[in-house]
Amino acid sequence: MSPDLLLPTPPIVRPDKDRFLQEENPFEAMMSRFDRAAVLLDLEPGIYKVLRNPEKQIITSIPVMLDSGDVEVYTGIRVLYNTSRGPAKGGIRFDLNVTLDEVTALAAWMTWKCAVVDIPFGGSKGGVVCDPLQMSVGELERLTRRYTSSIIQTLGPDSDVPAPDVNTNERVMAWIMDTYSMHVGHTVTAVVTGKPVEMGGSRGRREATGRGCMIVTKRALEHLGMPIKGASVIVQGFGNVGSVAAQLLEREGCKIIGISDRTTGIVNPKGIDVESAIAYVAQNRTLAGFTKGDAVSNSEMLTCETDVLLPAALENVITTKNAKHIKAKVICEGANGPTTAAADAILDEKGVFVVPDILANAGGATVSYFEWVQDRQGYFWAEDNVNKSLTTIMERSFDAVLDLSTQHKVNMRTAAYMLAISRVATVHRLRGVYA
């Protein structure tokens, strides 16, 4: 363990009450957790100031010719939060709710996430304010290529490496890679991750985040002395992360008793056939009408009796409004920021064991790192090797966070932030301040 983690624990300073006036502001939530970890680490003021501020925030206008012949102008954002440990790494999302605060918080989370699992990346995030469901494939391609061109000065395998996120996918990454490659005059596969395998993508990348959630959930159950076989699990969010996590946990012997998407929640105490649900969604695009369980609202499902709750949708689904009603013994955060900072204290009082997002969903970032390495080497791994390496890193990272949690008598989230911040701070101390 790093020597700077062996400092005596200083008194805990409660975050300012004013922070909780903006409970669902993702940047404020991230910062309140950062502040608590910084106090426990006795972080020196200079390093504290550096780590509390993003390195670069880009806001750009993106004019796009629509199929109708009209021109629409969209807003694009890219934030590089910290690159002290290596190139920035972070997804790009297309959504009407994209804001600078949200993107900055997500870029910071990526910084801590990469540090927690000890891969040599910093953190970034990007987004475009748009409704991709109302856009044609051609419009989306033109939007993606113009956005890429607008931020191309930051992009590159040694500087900033995007990946898919909300409403983006392998095809969008292929457009970004091609646009970047056209600008530099040769093919650069390592400029993005999460691209098709045929273009240099990694086997196992699509399943990586859900697989990572499965690995740390098993580790949490083992730590708590709870049997894995027969453990009940509710998965909120049945997209790529949630469906894969549910599928893999079911294969490990868990009983999936609840699943949901944006349209509905499905609960069945006897267990849901996950393969059947995945096939239904593939055919119908949503869970609406799936009959192998009782339909409930998303909010109702979060408070059902279960051993494990795995929120794998969007931010702020567990708040002060519902945290006191949570009945799960373990929460594994498959999404980024599903629990507000104000809700953390309530879950602590209830004794809920939370595997925080910056650890729980780091499987995607980890296999993105594997993909980047493979692209740089021009040598690609078998899927078994990818999965074995992912398991090793996720288990080792869980154990490191648990050790710190026990040593400092703090919850897993605070311990994860302490581990991540200490690793980034150590590099800043070694590098010094360029003047």
**Catalytic residue set:** 125
Burial classification of residue 161, based on how many CB atoms lie within 10 Å of its CB (0-12 exposed, 13-18 middle, 19 or more buried) = buried
Task: For strands 122-129 and 232-236, give the pairing.
Answer: unpaired
Buried b (16+ CB within 10 A) or exposed e, 208-247: bbbbbbbbbbbbbbeeeeeeeeebbbbbbbbbbbbbbbbb
| Distance (Å, whole) CA 40 – CA 12 | 7
| Long-range own/partner contacts, residues 337-340 (CB < 8 A, 24 or more apart) | 337/26, 337/29, 337/30, 337/105, 337/106, 337/109, 338/311, 338/313, 338/314, 339/311, 340/23, 340/24, 340/29, 340/316
- Which residues are within 8 A (CB) of 351 and not within 5 positions of it... i.e. 6 or more apart? none
Residue 258 pairs in a beta bridge with: 234, 267
Token output for 298: 């998303």
